[in-house]
Amino acid sequence: MDNVTLGQYQLVYGAFSFAIAVMGAATVFLFFGRSQVNTKYKTAVTISGVVTLIAFYHYWRIFDSWSAAYIVSGDMLKVTGSSFNDAYRYVDWLLTVPLLLLELILVMGLSSEETVRKGTTLASLAALMVILGYPGEIALDSGTRWLWWGLSMIPFLIIMFQLIVGLSKSVGAQPQSVRGLISSARWITLVTWSFYPIVFVLPMLGVGGGKAKTAVQVGYTIADILAKAAFGIYIWVIAVRKSEAAV
């Protein structure tokens, strides 16, 4: 069995509960906030709320799976034999990561053709990135983990290149009042998304057993909160500013 300490168990437990609260709160905020933006940006805000709702659902499941895997008796932590299911994260990312890129594309308010073209390309690359990461995540040896990590990094880097270089012309065409915000949204995506490949490699860098498990779970949770809840609200702020500018 793994050697998670009681303190580590409680830290992960708290992190998951925190994520449930943040994702639920962000969902409600975004669904109400949707009425404050122009029709043109409503879909971007709806998707932002849908992303945090999906994450809320999965953190609930992850929390339940974590609770069921251990039992605290006195100050002792015992494994119950029920295994902690990490696959929920990948099921979640398969849905939410492509949607996060669509939020950004939609709030830019490009032409229909450009929205469909850029949205399809970026969303497909994002799904591919998640699919390639999974075999590595469930692998036990470092070699296999590095292999899939490397393969998954290819779509990751293409997405980042598209965001920073491919979208720069479209960013330049944004209204003055939001140009800076939209440009930053790309950089926020780059920074928050970079957490994932870093967290992924922690177990391969000699961080062992319970410590690695805790670092991975807490690390992914922080990354999810930034990339989904914080990013979603940032998209909403852009949508509000653009709606105000259009009046």
Is 88 one of the binding residues for a copy of itself (CB under 8 A)? yes
Is 50 one of the binding residues for a copy of itself (CB under 8 A)? yes
Reduce the DSSP state of residue 4 to 3 states and report it.
coil
What is the C-alpha separation between 118 and 6, in angstroms, rounded? Answer: 47
Q: How many residues does the chain have?
A: 247
Is 120 one of the binding residues for a copy of itself (CB under 8 A)? no
Token representation of residue 89? 């994260």
Is 158 one of the binding residues for a copy of itself (CB under 8 A)? no
Q: What are phi and psi of 75, to 5 degrees?
A: -110, 25
**Shortest separation between residue 186's beta carbon and a copy of itself, angstroms:** 20
**Closest to a copy of itself by CB, 25 or 205:** 25
**Closest to a copy of itself by CB, 163 or 232:** 232
Is 95 one of the binding residues for a copy of itself (CB under 8 A)? yes
Long-range pairs for 28-34: beta carbons < 8 A, 24 or more residues apart: 29/233, 29/236, 30/232, 30/233, 30/236, 33/236, 33/240
Amino acid in position 211: K
**Shortest separation between residue 47's beta carbon and a copy of itself, angstroms:** 7
Is 246 one of the binding residues for a copy of itself (CB under 8 A)? no
Which residues, including other chains, have CB under 8 Å from residue 71's CB and lie 6 or more apart? Answer: 77, 78, 79, 80
Token representation of residue 115? 């929205």
Stretch that binds a copy of itself, among 84-92, 119-127, 195-203, 212-220 (CB under 8 A): 84-92
Instruction: Select from 94, 131, 151, 158 the one that contacts a copy of itself (CB under 8 A).
Output: 94
First-to-last alpha carbon distance for the chain, in angstroms, is 61
Instruction: Select from 3, 5, 64, 87 the one that contacts a copy of itself (CB under 8 A).
Output: 87
Total residues at the site for a copy of itself (CB under 8 A)?
A: 41
Q: Are 129 and 156 in contact (CB under 8 A)?
A: yes
Please give the residues from 165 up to 204 whose contact with a copy of itself meets the rule CB under 8 A: none
**Closest to a copy of itself by CB, 111 or 172:** 111
Radius of gyration over every alpha carbon of the chain, rounded to an integer in angstroms? 19
Residues that bind a copy of itself (CB under 8 A): 10, 14, 17-18, 20-22, 24-25, 28-29, 31-36, 39, 42-43, 46-47, 49-50, 53-54, 57-58, 61, 72-74, 81-83, 87-88, 91-92, 94-95
